[in-house]
Chain A
Amino acid sequence: KAGVTQTPRYLIKTRGQQVTLSCSPISGHRSVSWYQQTPGQGLQFLFEYFSETQRNKGNFPGRFSGRQFSNSRSEMNVSTLELGDSALYLCASRGQGLGKDGYTFGSGTRLTVV
């Protein structure tokens, strides 16, 4: 079956702009989580959505937001971009079964803010 698909793979934006990243989870997975990965900070949890509702949230400013659609696809938005937002953004989905299968990750979107 198809894996987790993230689009676009690469993105270059200017400081102050906003950006929207997209994630299509594995078919049947209702939980989608987003992570920011940088060399200095490692994997930082942004938020998790389950059945269109935000279930958990990390410690990021309000400029970072997300949503999930009825087909479980998710988008993440970052407004007023800062240089420090340059990172690899990873999306991951989980199925039912109390998380026993762990996450399946997409290949990520590499965002560069200039």
Chain B
Amino acid sequence: AQSVTQLDSQVPVFEEAPVELRCNYSSSVSVYLFWYVQYPNQGLQLLLKYLSGSTLVKGINGFEAEFNKSQTSFHLRKPSVHISDTAEYFCAVSDLRRTGNQFYFGTGTSLTVIP
């Protein structure tokens, strides 16, 4: 089974500074990759996804992520964060070798943007 690791449980960053949230997973064979964001007392919302093709994918709210097959990573980046980006971020992998292309989520990274 896949394992998804988000190394940083909490990331504080000043407003307008760049940020990178790290995600590593166990195998690059037959996977789709996703990043989700969760605001307080809400469900998860899709930020972006990688299915195939260009390794750099762009999502909503100015976020982007790069698929690195050899390093089995899918790090999320934003060049300049806003206060409104304060939220929990989850990396997820859909393993196409598993029944129903089962999803595996990381433990989440809490991003706090400091004014």
Whether A55 touches B99, Cβ cut-off 8 Å, given contacts A43-B108, A102-B92, is yes
Closest Cβ–Cβ distance, residue B53 to chain A (whole Å):
12
A112 at the interface (CB under 8 A from B): no
Complex interface: chain B residues within 8 A of A99 (CB): 32, 94, 96, 100-101, 103
Measured between C-beta atoms, what is the minimum distance from A22 to chain B in Å?
15
**Bound-state Cα–Cα, A105 to B34, Å:** 14
Q: For B103, list chain A residues within 8 Å (CB).
A: 33, 45, 99, 102-103
| Cβ-defined contact, A31 with B100, below 8 A | yes
Shortest CB–CB separation between residue B12 and chain A, in angstroms? Answer: 18
Please, how many residues of chain A have a CB less than 8 angstroms from a CB on the other chain? 24
Closest to B104 in A: A45
Chain A residues near B94 (CB-CB < 8 A): 99, 102
Say yes or no: is B43 at the interface (Cβ < 8 Å to chain A). yes
B42 to chain A, nearest CB (A): 6
Chain A residues closer than 8 Å to B11, beta-carbon distance: none
Nearest residue, chain A, Cβ from B46 = A102
The distance in angstroms between the C-alpha atoms of A102 and B108, with both chains bound, is: 17
Give chain B interface residues in 80-115, CB to chain A under 8 Å: 90, 92, 94, 96, 98-108
B107 touches A42 (CB 8 A): yes
Q: Is A71 an interface residue (CB 8 A)?
A: no
Cβ of A100 within 8 Å of any chain B Cβ, yes or no, is yes
Identify the A interface with B (CB < 8 A): 4, 31, 33, 35, 42-43, 45, 48, 50, 55-56, 90, 92, 98-100, 102-108, 110
